[in-house]
Structure 1
Amino acid sequence: SLMDVLAGRKTTGTIVGEVRFNGATCLKKNIKHLCGYVEQFDNLVLSVEQMLMYTAELKLPALTRAQKRERVEEVIAQLRLEGCRKTVIGGELVKGISGGQKKRVNIGLSLITRPPVLFLDEPTTGLDSAMADEVCAVMSLLAAQGRTVVATIHSPTASAFSLFDDLLMLRDGQLVYAGECGDAAADYFSKRVGLRPLEMGESMPE
């Protein structure tokens, strides 16, 4: 719910307070140009390349065909999708690309417009630990390129969680922790909250 409010997608209930981007108030009509949003569940058809081009045609009407093609190539390279670009994405009835590749394509659909802020709704849902780590590594790479990446995530592996820089933890809508990940968060929960120290292979959200 909090992420939907920040992304300007919440349409029910009462919202109070102010949302700021880089310290400045942002009009709701401008949020869609600032933010990309990756849905939790994939609803994809066509091949990887076709799906990205279809999205570019819809979201970038002002660009030429050649410029749209450049955006598609940029996203394919960013998300390491060269090996499956011509493969049908597939679904329950048609075998296609892997779950991790599907998640990366889903991320790519939001990257087509080059948004400075990218929101992801539980991007590791339904993936095994190896694919989940792969998706988190891609998110970390996008953040390293200067983009703000915000994700909700449930029970990440220790290796996936180690790729996050900051943690905002809520319980029943109340703030539990907001700050750096790593040693800072571990010290807070062990010394201030009284939780036992983490064992090898454990991640804090567990």
Structure 2
Amino acid sequence: MTLLLGPPSSGKTTLLLALAGKLDPKLKFSGKVTYNGHEMNEFVPQRTAAYVSQNDLHIGELTVRETLEFSARFQGVGLRYDMLEEVSRREKERNIIPDPDIDVFMKAIATAGQKSNLVIDYYLKILGLETCADTVVGNAMLRGVSGGQRKRVTTGEMLVGTAKALFMDEISTGLDSSTTFQ
């Protein structure tokens, strides 16, 4: 995890957009961006990285679960076997006993051929959205989940996909410190 800090208008958002491959192709810039030694023209950065905007844009009438399912359907659900191996290695290294519920979800979603609802259930659990999974997300005209929950839904939308790098732009904007810590 890396935290990028800088004063307003210093280019933080532009850098994150560049890393996620979301800059306007007409934009001229110098230098190069590489991932593990591969330049941007050697792979599809939009499949490797996800950019989470500072603005939460959702279909307010969908529930939290439906929002994550919608996102998973259009991004494709990533297989997370490599992530499971890394988490297991780190747990053993630090003598951490995993939460049995989360461990079951991790093993189920890491196995090829499993349905996307296991992935959705897993992310609902780790993002603390289980209690509001059947609540509408809401918008300015429709009361829904809280601001902190809405931010976590935004994060969940990107996590259910195949991206291995997640660039979150001012993800704590509008949240109090307690909610941000969660």
With the length of structure 2 as denominator, give the TM-score of the two structures. 0.66
Partner Cα separation in structure 2 for residue 54 and residue 16 of structure 1: 37
Q: How does 1:123-202 map to 2 (within 5 A)?
A: 123-134=171-182
- Point out the structure with the larger strand share: 1
By how many angstroms is 1:78 displaced? 2.2
Task: Specify the code of the residue in structure 1 equivalent to 2:27.
Answer: G
Match of 1:54 among 46, 60, 70: 70
Contact 1:7–1:35 (Cα < 8 Å) also in 2: yes
Change (3 A) 1:98 1:62: closer
Bigger relative contact order, structure 1 or 2 (CA pairs below 8 A, ≥6 apart): 2
- The structure with the larger Rg is 1
Partner Cα separation in structure 1 for residue 113 and residue 124 of structure 2: 17
Determine the structure 2 residue equivalent to 1:93.
141
Q: Does the residue aligned with 2:18 lie in a helix, a strand or coil?
A: helix
Provide the identity percentage.
Answer: 32
Partner Cα separation in structure 1 for residue 178 and residue 23 of structure 2: 32
By how many angstroms is 1:34 displaced? 0.9
Output one character per residue of 1:127-150: Cα deviation in whole Å (capped at 9) or x when no partner. 12222222xxxxxxxxxxxxxxxx
Q: Is 2:117 aligned against 1:69?
A: yes
Runs ≥4 residues deviating over 2 A? 22-29, 61-66
Q: Does the residue aligned with 1:18 lie in a helix, a strand or coil?
A: coil
- Point out the structure with the larger helix share: 2
Contact 1:4–1:10 (Cα < 8 Å) also in 2: yes
Partner Cα separation in structure 1 for residue 168 and residue 159 of structure 2: 12
Structure 1 segments unaligned to the other structure (5+ residues): 135-206
Q: Is 2:155 aligned against 1:107?
A: yes
Determine the structure 2 residue equivalent to 1:40.
54
By how many angstroms is 1:123 displaced? 0.3
By how many angstroms is 1:85 displaced? 0.4
Task: Specify the code of the residue in structure 1 equivalent to 2:20.
Answer: A
Determine the structure 1 residue equivalent to 2:21.
8
Change (3 A) 1:79 1:34: same
Task: Specify the code of the residue in structure 2 equivalent to 1:88.
Answer: V
Change (3 A) 1:39 1:65: farther
The root-mean-square deviation of aligned C-alpha atoms, in Å, is: 2.4
Task: Specify the code of the residue in structure 2 equivalent to 1:83.
Answer: T
Structure 2 segments unaligned to the other structure (5+ residues): 1-13, 80-111
Contact 2:21–2:45 (Cα < 8 Å) also in 1: yes
Partner Cα separation in structure 1 for residue 47 and residue 140 of structure 2: 33
